[in-house]
A and B are shown apart, each in its own frame.
Chain A
Amino acid sequence: MKNDYSNFTLQEMMAVAAAREITDGEKVIIGTGLPLLGAFLAQKTHAPNMVAIYESGAIDCKPLVTPFSVADSVLVPGSAMQGGLMEGLGVVHAGELDLGFLGGAQIDKYGNLNTHVIGDYRNPRVRFAGSGGSNDIGAGCKRTIVMMLHQKQRFPEKVDFVTTPGYFGGGKERETYGFFGNGPSAVISTLGILRFDPDTREMYLESYHPGVTVEQVKENTGWDLKISPSVRETKRPDPELIRILREDLDPTGVFLGKK
């Protein structure tokens, strides 16, 4: 069903949801995979003036081909500026960027992220990559969007290790640290879109993706997840967006699955 753009996968739904979070003219630091597709989808549609920045030091990139990794050689030709980590992450550290995309092995009730270990730090059951630029982006970008695989063990009440602080223990705790960044504004998971209560900073379900139920989201979350009183289905992607994703941004199906 290659040309049926009214059908879509959950991954495509997530890429479209990521694109919707971007406002035109924003300076955005992009990772790989779905955030990357979401950001370039936004740039091709409602946010042509978005400034795409990579931690590898590519600033305002307009790649001819969708890059595979954050340090891809296709990012370089056509960029407004090319430097290194000092340039790419220096602007993040200085608080100049509007939005950063993050991911992780675990996220908790208050949006704290873990990309270090499962189990004890000194004798880990599973050791992951570490922070990379994640903590820098969380501290420096005005807001962050977290893209997550929604499973119970990935959404525990408390993460095993705080790599990138979200709202710490909730309430006004984050504000006492004096970061440029205000914390995560949304979690786009494989099951829905979650946001944070402006007072308690606790995560709640705003919408569930088409084909998913509220019960399913609750079952796959490691605490008693609060549900918005106005919870609804996530707005379905316009077929034109699915066409751009499949035909223009990922024609070989590297990110969205082989055709």
Chain B
Amino acid sequence: MKTSKVMTAREAVSKYIGDGMTVAVGGFFHSISYALTHEIIRQKKQHLTICQPSFNDHADQMIGAGCVDRIVSSYVWMEVFGPLYCFRRAMEKGIPRKIEMEDYTNFAVMARYLAGSLGIPYIPLHSMKGSDMMNYRAWNGDKKAVLMKDPFGSGHDHVLVPALNPDVGYFHCQRADEEGNSQMWGIWGDMPWSMRACKEVIVSCEEIVTREQIGRDPNRTIVPGYKVVAVVHEPFGAHPKHCQGFYDVDRDFIFKYIRESATEDGWKKYMDEWVYGVADRTEYAQKFVNAFGMKKFLDLKAKDMMSTSVNYGF
């Protein structure tokens, strides 16, 4: 039995996320670790560069809280739900501070992670070519992307983007063991490439299971334990997003955030209530039940739609 990496969100964030770090957030809409995001905000981390192909309200909250200087992404918005006001205030008016975004495409960020995870310095792309993303650059300047003639003779120029290797990454999944072997199903989002490109990984999960249980279905493992430095047990840790097989997306709560964050005062009130005003995820879940009732909480719970099992025998 290897050493257990299980710890609280408070311990994990304080130990492994430092000011000024480049931090990858895992997931795509589905299974985003709000548990760890909120802890980063409570610990007032500063000057972070945050990376994710597509960001939602979790980025908006970190931006509003002044944790973020730079964003590596293709998208900061709340999809069909609407705009994200802290992001817009920061980009349009420098509130609470001016931030920079290095604009890529969704796939270009994936390609940067892929290169990072493979230990290669850069990767060619069809995307971005001819767009204004090649003409406008933030802090990376010339190193954001390069247009290069294909040395193998296709006759076309290709966009090269550099590998992305964040200092630390964090993500949420259904289950992990104490060593950090993590299993995820449903929409992987930027997984596994984002986390494999990170130097260190923090995982939050709905359930902690045994190493033996992981080994019974190893094809489902998305990050091997040796990459992981901390395992945080956080049921309901992705709310208001969904976690396949555990709970569905909470549309009402997302609309509530967008509505209330439209003004700075409204945003502050929301954050005082749902982030600063709770000590951890357990208090958050309890507060949710108190505010909206057990029925609403149970309504979010996923139905059972079990897969058939497979034979790993030899």
Contact = CB atoms under 8 A, between A and B. Distances in A.
A92 B189 contact: no
Interface string B56-79: 000000000000000001111101
B126 A140 contact: yes
A73 interface: yes
Given A55-B106, A77-B305, A135-B105, A71 B129 contact: no
B210 interface: no
B103 interface: yes
Interface in B24-66: 28-30, 53-54
A93 B159 CA distance: 13
Contacts of B156: 177-178
A179 interface: yes
B132 interface: yes
A139 B45 CA distance: 38
A132 B73 CA distance: 8
A131 B104 contact: yes
Contacts of B193: 86
A133 B77 CA distance: 13
A3 to B, nearest CB: 28
Contacts of B125: 93
Contacts of B157: 178
A156 interface: no
Contacts of A246: none
Interface residues of B, number: 57
B295 to A, nearest CB: 19
A56 B106 CA distance: 11
Contacts of A93: 107, 125-127
Given A71-B28, A76-B187, A85 B79 contact: no
Interface stretch (A157-165, A205-213, A222-230, A235-243): A157-165
Nearest to B94: A123
A124 interface: yes
Q: Indicate the member of A55, A68, A72, A139 with the most B CB atoms within 10 Å.
A: A139
Contact of A164 (B103, B108, B126, B131): B131
A189 interface: no
Task: Tell me the dominant secondary structure on chain A's binding face.
Answer: loop
B244 interface: yes
Nearest to A160: B132
Contacts of B53: 85
A84 B105 contact: no
Interface string A70-87: 111101110000111111
B132 A161 contact: yes
Nearest to A125: B92
A73 B127 contact: no
A90 B191 CA distance: 13
Interface of A: 32-33, 55-58, 68-73, 75-77, 82-87, 89-90, 92-93, 95, 116, 121-136, 139-140, 161-165, 168, 177-180
8 contacts: A68-B80, A84-B187, A84-B190, A89-B106, A116-B103, A129-B77, A130-B77, A131-B104
